[in-house]
Structure 1
Amino acid sequence: MNKSRRLGRLIAATTTASVALTLAPAAIAQETVEFSVSNITDFHGYLEFDDYNGYLGAALLAGLNNQINGDENVFTTSGDNVGGSNFVSAISNDEDTLQALNAAGVDVSAVGNHEFDQGQDDLRNRIVPASDYPILGANVYRNGERILPAHDIQERNGVRIAFVGTVTPQTAKKVAPSAIEGVEFRDPVAETNQVARELIDGDQADVVIALMHDDAASLAAGFDTDYVDAVFGGDSHVVHAAQTPIIAAQSGEYGKILTDIDFTFNPTTREITAAEITQYDLAAAQATGATPDATVAAIVDQARTQADVLGAEQVATLANSFSRGNDYGLDQNGNPTTGNNRGSESTLNHLIAEAGRASMADFLGEEVDLGFMNAGGVRQDLPAGEVTYRDVFNIQPFGNGIAVGKLTGADILLALEQQWKDAAASRPRLALGFSDGFSYSYDPTAPQGERVIEATLHGEAIDPARTYSVAMSSFLFDGGDGFDAFTNVTDYRDVGYKDVTALADYLEANPAVEPRGAQGDVGVTIDGTLAAGETVTLNLTSLNYSTETEPQATAVTATLGDATGTADIDTRFIPEFDRYNEHGTATVELTIPEGLTGTQQIIITTDTGTEVTVPVTIDGTDAGTGDDDSDGSSAGSSAAGIVAILAAVAGILGGVQFFAPELFAGVTSQIEAQINALLNP
């Protein structure tokens, strides 16, 4: 039986707060019935109400659904109910979330990629039995057979409503391979269309609605509108509502939105004659007068109490402390503050970057080259002594997942340049934490976008054309904090591994871990003529961390061929410069050996283990990089050379978008004056 269900255009379309989208058919038969379908997606265990972030919480979601709907409603989800969860749920392996969704009255759900986080056996043997509603996966196969039901039929007011559930094929890249061994994720739209035809032509259903854990907006055009009436999407964490070419809606993430669609159905023609979409955010929910469901609220309270108990359990007893960046201010008790400087390196930021890299490598059973961490995601210090799960969560409270993907050396070098922001901004630099073995040199007086001189990984220069495996938070891969270079990732995999879990696992396995004494980056400006027998001056910055409790180098050595120069490090804290990661300065005189020509390396080391390299060309030209506009070879011109390489690689890759014009803006005179004042006291 083939039947046309194409309806009129929507009168209005917007997805902020509560909005109604109404289909207006040319004519509505007198004999009609109504039913409604409500939906949430990507709940991820966000059980608790949070008015600051707009999370309705499980109890209010249930109360809202009860307030706006009656017995004609079907309450659905589009997957990722659990996994990648908030602390209060993750600490109990999402058991409380499974109970809360049951109590909330969920009728049917699609399977999400995160339901596979702990493996297909965990899904089928734990999650499915614990759910009082079917979990559908029409496109999930093993050995040619579906491992989950393809559809479920709910009857409301005499209408047989078939729900067909699918999950994104990207699940194969989002979950550890061992968790889904032998599982095949087929095209979700094609599978939905096939099942819909079988149900309608076999007279098993009157209406077909797709519950798809994939982006509704981008895939809606592929559905056969003669058989599929509507789709509720998920996975991409966006909010969507539209009718063209099919009734399509998506409820965002974390229980921030409840989408409700009221359908009008003509039993005689077996057509949907009208549909009204309303999306409720927190303000809209409260405007209805809805109150939290008491049964669900009791489960959330139980989860919170249990989380407090489990959160107090010990992860490790650390032998050393780790700190965040510091502006060298004092708190009200006269103690040095930490955490107020996101522009400087810190031992804790480096630790988290290494923990993400190492834990992901262990989780996947494969090599991961690099890890990065953004300073703004680190919200508490990590003191020595007993560390609990709650402590780890408070350090990284944003619930990000650790993902892995491939980046070129050009992407990595560009990301380093993107640490420097607008000089007039309140935070003119946002420092990245690096995993062990990574370091780079840069010229703080060079134009923005041309500062990086050379980066190395385990002693080898980063190759702009080579591809590296990198682990970091999903926030950074999404370009968070302005690191657009990271969005060039390929082979991206979000495997359901939380940043909190990665850090906890690492600390548990490495309780004796020591703070990284070596700086990840060192500022180098060279003045003088690069010729045999000539003496050049190396103005060095960022030789130390910005917190007194972190390792502090006292001496620096520069080596070029057989020549060596040493100097004491000025360890005075100067807050204005610490904002730019310039704490710890020194001036080293270095005489270039006779007979030395061509491309050489200046190696800079400190007594805390710092080692960076500066490639130079010995050819008799002036090395001045500060305000000197000469074309001589120097640290600065090496930086420009790297940028030129990046540009060439970007052009080859069609990636000219890597280079935003603002990255090449000159340094302001104010910053130049400050840096010159420090380097030339």
Structure 2
Amino acid sequence: MSNPVSSGLSRRSFLKTGAVVAGTTLIPSIVSFRAHAKAGPGELAMVPTEPNPNGVFERLFLLKGDPLAGPIRTIVTEEGNPVPMPTLEDGERRVLRVLHFNDMHNHLTEMHGKRGDTHRFSQIVKMVKDIRGGAKEDEIVLFVSAGDDHTGSIFDELMGWAPEEFVADAGYRANSAAGVDIAVLGNHEFDRGAELLKLGIDTDADFPVLSANIHGSKHVARDEDYVAAAIAEVKGLRVGFIGLTTAVDTRVGQPDDPDLAVASPVEAARNLTPALSEICDVIVVLSHCGYGGDQHKSGKAATSRTIGEGDFAIADAVGPLTDKPVVLIGGHSHTTLNESGINTDNVVNGVLITQANAHGKFLGDVAMSIAADQGRKGWFTSVGLHPTKKRDQRVAADDPKFASLEQPEDYDQAFEEAHIAPMIKALDTKLAEVIGQVSDDKGLTSEETFADRYVGEVALANYMNDALVEASKAFPGGPVDLAIFNATGLSAGIAKGDLTFRGWYDVMPYADAVHVAEMTGAQLKEMLDNNAKRLLRPEEAESVDMKGFVSRGFLHFSKDLRYKIVLGSTAAEARAVDIMVQGKPLDEQLDKTFRVAFNTYIALGAFGETWNGKPIGADVPGNIASYDVRKLPFEHTGLVYRNEVISHIRKTGTVGPETGAKKDGRLTIAQ
């Protein structure tokens, strides 16, 4: 397939370059020479390469070798290419600012017909350009990504699901044009498979990507497609980078890449840090491993989340191994850290930990005043977050909210036009792609979906939830027993004939990920009883516009859950009865644990649709407390609900009664 959004940003083969770089004195204790820079056990080969021309690195070196076999004791380099040594005089000072973002998840521009487009990434680009443009002579301004540049928006579709479908790697293409200097591989970089990740790197990444603990993939190879670590030099300051990827949530064990594995990030960092610190003034750990450690609650986790060896453990291990300044720029957990300055809880063993939420909501900013050969003495100056703004063109200029909303001067319009707009245009072609056929649209049209979604069983919701259960057989954490989706998330129906990507995107336009909760039968029964009170009752339906949102959070379920709602005389009296799960009465399974797939909106408590303990709203009388799903233990898969359903449609080829798009009596309503 030709690439309609090619913009001259094709990646140079920097992982294979070896240009001669003039050097100075060597460090005999840490550096030796070896022809062709081939690293042996306990060694890393230091290979010079070209940095992103839109970034600020003056010299860039990739460290190749195996950081997992044991401690790195020696750094080798090609004969005639000595390791760059300090050029700063003793006590000479540089101010290093590291601007950072994480978990962008392709939320480059958030498109909305009524509110207008929110130019998240172009807002960040403007901030970076302004800061870099105002930098003083002794100031260095880097721009880095802490991972998960993929999965979560319509831009994902430019990557396709197979190499022949590839159009662009939107995240890496935008990063390259914006001047990102370096990035770490996040777990969601592997969601569409390592073969497509490699294609994205080769085509669109003009910066190195790091991971010291990913290994074994047959598609992306360490030292060819990514490296464990790197060293950059700017204005005489040498900055070492280590990349680490979460060992908990990366998609391993997939049939097309069975040997992809993720080793301990702590061990990888421990093996690398001493050797790297010998030839660097400061170390930046790009950790896509999550804030906290083991089980921890922060960011997008409403309850304790399994982090494993997260940022606490990494900082605890790295801190004592060097007296050089170390900052850990994190991702994965979507945590907002140090928004108002340094929080001392985020300094572990002398290592500053920071993170900038997700989806471009903030640009992180760490400033360090570093003096040559003075280690960590007085090295921090400030840390904080710069917020981006949402767009809402419906708000008038005299409205008090106007100043808090995105205006044209808040984003880099030239960048948006040159680099983001062509990808949006390319999506027009992608959205027209036929993903399957609708064999019979009885019960599936917009009119029928709108008429059904708040008052009972919905054919389209049945199909969606059943499709997700089927797709879950390939989930890293194992299959789910049940799936749910909220009524307001069903935004359109489908028509007989060709089903395009846009057609299905209109059905479920929201960027919901899949979150898997473990629920006991007793908890499931309580949630179903709460759901019964959210139904739009017959006496209400006559006066309600069924095309509008009835924001009560009413849920639909997959086929292995069948039950009846008895309405009673009021919403408070409504209840769920005759509940069967997997063919057995739920009352006989109250102690059993079920894996239930939620979409993001509900997993986060549904905000105004209240699955968060607050009273059920949207004109439901009686001040009825909602069931708080946020207390459930969630596994955040990062998979996109819509994409999983689309993948199922592509596999089956047909949406219709014969593939489960019908009412089957799983929900009945009784007075």
Which category of TM-score, normalised to the shorter sequence, fits these structures?
Answer: 0.5 to 0.7
Cα distance in 2 for partners of 1:336, 1:126 equals 41
Residues 1:43 and 1:477: Cα distance change in structure 2 (over 3 Å): same
Q: Secondary structure in 2 aligned to 1:74?
A: strand
Q: State the one-letter code of the partner of 2:593.
A: T
Residues 51-74 of structure 1: per-residue CA shift (max 9 Å, x gap): 959954333322321111247211
Cα distance in 2 for partners of 1:449, 1:135 equals 57
1:431 aligns with 2:554: yes
Aligned residues of 1:406 and 1:469 also touching (Cα < 8 A): yes
Residues 1:468 and 1:397: Cα distance change in structure 2 (over 3 Å): same
Cα distance in 2 for partners of 1:482, 1:516 equals 28
Corresponding residue for residue 285 of structure 2:
210
Residues 207-258 of structure 1: per-residue CA shift (max 9 Å, x gap): 1111111333565544143546212111122321134224332122222211
Corresponding residue for residue 654 of structure 2:
511
Q: State the one-letter code of the partner of 1:275.
A: T
Residues 1:323 and 1:397: Cα distance change in structure 2 (over 3 Å): farther
Q: Secondary structure in 2 aligned to 1:419?
A: helix
Residues 1:403 and 1:320: Cα distance change in structure 2 (over 3 Å): farther
Cα distance in 2 for partners of 1:317, 1:211 equals 44
1:392 aligns with 2:392: no
Match of 2:327 among 230, 236, 239: 230
Residues 270-309 of structure 1: per-residue CA shift (max 9 Å, x gap): 3353322242222489799664163553221111111012
Aligned residues of 1:42 and 1:253 also touching (Cα < 8 A): yes
Task: Give the alignment of 1:275-674 within 5 angstroms.
Answer: 275-283=381-389, 291-292=411-412, 294-295=414-415, 297-321=417-441, 338=450, 342=454, 344-361=456-473, 368-404=480-516, 406-420=518-532, 429-445=552-568, 451-462=575-586, 463-480=589-606, 481-483=609-611, 486-487=629-630, 492=635, 494=637, 496-503=639-646, 505-506=648-649, 509-514=652-657, 515-523=661-669, 540-541=670-671
Corresponding residue for residue 273 of structure 1:
379
Structure 1 residue 197 displacement after superposition: 2.5
Structure 1 residue 171 displacement after superposition: 2.1
Residues 1:180 and 1:427: Cα distance change in structure 2 (over 3 Å): same
TM-score, normalisation: structure 2: 0.63
Cα distance in 1 for partners of 2:117, 2:274 equals 39
Aligned residues of 2:456 and 2:668 also touching (Cα < 8 A): no
Q: State the one-letter code of the partner of 1:314.
A: V
Corresponding residue for residue 152 of structure 2:
85
Structure 1 residue 195 displacement after superposition: 2.2
Give unmatched runs, 5+ long, in structure 2: 1-26, 28-89, 161-167, 294-309, 390-403, 541-548, 612-626
- Identity over aligned pairs, percent: 20
Q: Secondary structure in 1 aligned to 2:107?
A: coil
Aligned residues of 1:59 and 1:293 also touching (Cα < 8 A): yes
Task: Give the alignment of 1:250-265 within 5 angstroms.
Answer: 250-265=355-370
Q: State the one-letter code of the partner of 2:104.
A: F
Match of 1:67 among 125, 130, 136: 130
Residues 1:518 and 1:166: Cα distance change in structure 2 (over 3 Å): same
Residues 8-33 of structure 1: per-residue CA shift (max 9 Å, x gap): xxxxxxxxxxxxxxxxxxxxx98422
Corresponding residue for residue 20 of structure 1:
none
Match of 2:173 among 99, 110, 114: 99
Q: Secondary structure in 1 aligned to 2:355?
A: strand
Q: State the one-letter code of the partner of 1:197.
A: P
Residues 307-361 of structure 1: per-residue CA shift (max 9 Å, x gap): 01220122223133366899xxxxxxxx999269635432222221112112333
Structure 1 residue 495 displacement after superposition: 5.8
Cα distance in 2 for partners of 1:259, 1:344 equals 46
Corresponding residue for residue 45 of structure 2:
none
Q: State the one-letter code of the partner of 1:87.
A: I
Aligned residues of 2:291 and 2:330 also touching (Cα < 8 A): yes
Cα distance in 1 for partners of 2:451, 2:184 equals 42
Q: Secondary structure in 2 aligned to 1:81?
A: coil
Q: Secondary structure in 1 aligned to 2:531?
A: coil
* Cα RMSD after superposing both structures: 3.9
Cα distance in 2 for partners of 1:311, 1:77 equals 28
TM-score, normalisation: structure 1: 0.63
Residues 355-378 of structure 1: per-residue CA shift (max 9 Å, x gap): 211233367797543222111211
1:32 aligns with 2:93: yes
1:178 aligns with 2:255: yes
Q: State the one-letter code of the partner of 2:602.
A: L
Residues 1:498 and 1:91: Cα distance change in structure 2 (over 3 Å): farther
Structure 1 residue 158 displacement after superposition: 1.7
